[in-house]
Amino acid sequence: MTIKEYFSSLFKGLHSLIKGMEVTGKELVTKKVTEQYPENRDTLEISKRFRGTLQFIYDDEGYHKCIACKSCERNCPNGTIQVITKMIDLDNGKKKMVLDKYMYDLGSCTFCDLCVLTCPTQAIEFSNDFEQSVFRREVLLKQLNYLPEKIKPTPAPAAKPAAPAAAKPAAAAVKPAEKEDATKPAAESKPAAPQPESENNENK
């Protein structure tokens, strides 16, 4: 290494050190903000983008949108999700595969959000609830479909509209005989029969 290269690397090191000390110096004079948790639990604001735990989305009637397609299970990188299905008989006599249990292991979740992004029906989401501390790992294994499973009734097939009545013809059909008579030209009038001469004329 030449003297020029030595002093060049020395000045570069000093420049990076000054930059780092500049950031540290700003933080020394910045006002500190300390969250008084858990005292401020009622007023604590958690960012909506924070991923705390996975949960199901239920509507007001207790239905969810999960169709048990297992897309979330296949896309989970470490097997956190297990979708257990079962077959049921519908009112119309057909069979359908529905969700039985949706098991989620919070202890092994990496919060990558791949399960939510790949869900075709938007049936799951991440909440921002971060208070998930427990004493036993078994408690972290949760069943997300905690409400009793409800199957939406199969809609009845729509009734077919009645066929419109055949339109009646404007005029009655002409009988074949009448049709032929109508096509024939009018018959020529016959000459009147000669009247017999009176007896007076014969005597004359």
The fold adopted by the segment(s) 53-143 is Alpha-Beta Plaits (3.30.70)
- Nearest residue to 76 (alpha-carbon basis) of 127, 100, 110: 110
Mean local confidence (pLDDT), 114-120: 95
**For residue range 44-62, what is the model confidence (pLDDT) as tens digits?**
888 889 999 999 999 988 8
DSSP state of 85: E
- DSSP string spanning 92-132? TS-EEEEEEEEEEEGGG-----HHHHH-TT--EEEE-----
pLDDT at 187: 47
- Give the whole-angstrom CA distance, residue 38 versus residue 70: 38
| pLDDT at 164 (0 to 100) | 62
Return the domain boundaries, the chain.
53-143
Distance CA 30, CA 191 (A): 136
pLDDT digits (tens, 9 = 90+) for 155-194: 655 556 666 655 555 544 445 555 455 445 544 445 555 5
Q: What is the pTM of this model?
A: 0.58
Q: Are strands 95-105 and 81-89 parallel, antiparallel or unpaired?
A: antiparallel
pLDDT of 8-42, one tens digit each? 888 899 999 998 899 888 888 888 888 888 888 88
How does pLDDT run across 61-85, given as a tens digit for each residue?
A: 888 999 999 999 999 999 999 999 9
pLDDT for residue 4: 84
Residue 89, beta-bridge partner list = 95
CA 182-186-171 angle, to 5 degrees, is 25
Compute the C-alpha angle 108/111/116, nearest 5°.
115
Mean pLDDT of all residues in the chain? 80
